[in-house]
Structure 1
Amino acid sequence: MRAFEAVGKQLSFTGGAAALSVSQSAMSRHVAALEDLLGQRLFDRDAGRLALTPAGQELLAVVSKSLERIEQTMNAIRDDSVPSRAMRLHVPPTLLHQLFIPMLAEFHRDHPEVRIDVSSAHTTGLPEADLDMAIVYDRPNVDDRVTDLLWMVRVVPLCSPAVGALAGSMAMAPFLADHELLHVKLQGQPRDLLWGDYLRRHGIAIPSHDGLAFDTSIAAARYATTSGGVMLGDVDMFAAEIAAGQLVAPYDAVIEDGYGYYLKLHPDDLSDPAIAVFRSWLIGRFANFREQV
């Protein structure tokens, strides 16, 4: 397994052999023995170039994580001063800053023994990173991960009180036509995907492709409160700003836009006590949050 992992990461028998300080022939024998055991090729060899097969890609992810966990556990057993492995968690930027940091503080007070490394990146779906758990913003989908729905997003046009006051008795269509639409870009999607879908569902035929676009909802909200324009915002994510009067919803036109926040993890990680307790706590905490808003 060590030989396979080293070759898989280096995509080179020579590089893998150097990483483990063994001969290249020994690496080849170990990998060949593993392929014979599985009855599957783990590498494609073409003109001296090495590439993982689909089976090899699947195995490498599991082997790397398993070997890392074995090493960390052995270190912890050998030396009681070695701390437990930190759980690697991804949280989308707006969720992290709007809601998750106070939640994380609560969990840390209740479970100080659980170490968590939090990362955040603007992405739709799973980020390309080595993670134990990830909260993702995405549409419903099926993959090989354990997936828990934390909440479905509910959106409505939001703006500053000054802009909202201009709505008066005006219908939503002319109001939106008179103001700049602020977009939140989704990875690999047209910049006006969310606004375009919202307008179609309300039967509003106005151009939606113009206006400023931001990577995160929190940036769009900041612009809306200070500089004008109308964003399409999650009423639960920005409940505090709405309650404080920093953002207003001139129209009662909330819809679920098909996106949600999901917790994802590998099935084999459910046996990790720290991951299991954090997952249970997080699901319950988000359920309580939705009841309060």
Structure 2
Amino acid sequence: MRRKIPSTSMLEAFESAARHLSFTRAADELSFTESAISRKIALLEEYLGVKLFSRVKKRLQLTDAGKSYSLMVQQSLDKLEMDTTLTMAHDAGRIQLELAVLPTFALKWLMPRLNEFNTLHPEVTIHVTAREEPFLFSEAPFDAAIHFDHPVWANATSTYLFTEELIPICSPQLIGGKHCRKPADLLNYVLMHKTGRPEAWSRWFELAGCPDARALKGPRYNMYAMSIEAARRGAGMALVPRTYVMDDIESGQLTVPWEMLVPGAKDYYFVVPEQKQASQAVQVFLAWLLKVAEQYRDVSEQVHA
């Protein structure tokens, strides 16, 4: 059955005119005459049976239907352009892996290690996209994800990597050295929170033996990367996954004011939908990922010891 889709030329003309609210500027952008743009939009309105533009005091405006349709058309054209570009960039001699990863995990843990994988497996191209929230594989162009466990992955295979461990960090300059004298001293500084973990600092102080209502106060950031950078700049104390700050601690940019790791509420998993489990790229990447995750767990055990 033939799809009910207007021509790309009509949609491009409409999208440009809607964005500029001007047939003249759309004509300049697309290298058409203004009358050609007007004609294409008239044909589109006829095809849809809906008025997309109106004129109020000689000024071009979108109708309500035009506003809604313009957003959908822009998104569709953007996706079509991206899909086309990705296809043009496809290298038939290599295998591809589209990977969704938690943003700060990608930046602080995966990317520093990924060059090792690229050296070992030059035949595989990894495309990494940051995704904060869980998603349905059926609605996203990914072969796999590194994420927390979640019910949305019900029809996928989740392979355990390691457990999140939270550790307090700050700038050495903030405390005039590397450590505080006792855990309660941290309460004298600004405590920075992860938006989705408002109770984390309270739990840390309870386990440290000094519960305090002040542990709930302080600014909140929706990404660990933000609080890590704020801590580096001396804005206060952050409680973050140790995986994200090992290099910063080793380099001396950050310090641990009180050495106490707290198991986080999350475990990291490599998640693969059923239809992608036989993928060569997935299998090769997973084998490497399990090896480096085990190395990380070994280091973590040494820290606890």
TM-score per shorter chain, which class? 0.5 to 0.7
Task: Extract unaligned runs of 5+ from structure 1.
Answer: 4-15, 20-74
> What is the deviation of 1:181?
0.6
Which of the numbers 115, 128, 135 marks the counterpart of 1:118?
A: 128
Q: Distance in 2 between matches of 1:200 and 1:185?
A: 20
Task: Extract unaligned runs of 5+ from structure 2.
Answer: 6-86, 301-305
Q: Distance in 1 between matches of 2:129 and 2:4?
A: 32
Q: Distance in 1 between matches of 2:260 and 2:230?
A: 22
Q: Distance in 2 between matches of 1:193 and 1:260?
A: 17
Q: Distance in 2 between matches of 1:196 and 1:140?
A: 27
Q: Distance in 2 between matches of 1:126 and 1:81?
A: 27
Q: Is the 8 A contact 1:140 1:260 kept in 2?
A: no
Q: Distance in 2 between matches of 1:81 and 1:153?
A: 36
Map of 1:10-89 to 2, 5 A cutoff?
Answer: 17-18=3-4, 82=92, 86-89=96-99
What CA RMSD, in Å, does the superposition of the two structures yield over aligned residues?
3.2
1:158 aligned residue:
169
**Structure 1 length as normaliser, TM-score?**
0.63
What secondary structure does 1:220 align onto?
A: helix
Q: Does 1:288 align with 2:295?
A: yes
What secondary structure does 1:115 align onto?
A: strand
Change (3 A) 1:17 1:220: same
Q: Distance in 2 between matches of 1:201 and 1:289?
A: 24
Q: Does 1:267 align with 2:274?
A: yes
Q: Does 1:222 align with 2:208?
A: no
Q: Distance in 2 between matches of 1:165 and 1:242?
A: 15
Kindly provide the amino acid, as one letter, of the partner of residue 110 in structure 1. Answer: L
Change (3 A) 1:289 1:156: closer
Q: Distance in 2 between matches of 1:140 and 1:105?
A: 32
What secondary structure does 1:197 align onto?
A: helix
2:73 aligned residue:
none
Map of 1:86-105 to 2, 5 A cutoff?
Answer: 86-105=96-115
What secondary structure does 1:105 align onto?
A: helix
Change (3 A) 1:290 1:164: farther
Q: Does 1:256 align with 2:266?
A: no
2:160 aligned residue:
149
> What is the deviation of 1:182?
0.8
Percent identity between matched residues is 23
**Structure 2 length as normaliser, TM-score?**
0.61
Q: Distance in 1 between matches of 2:153 and 2:126?
A: 26
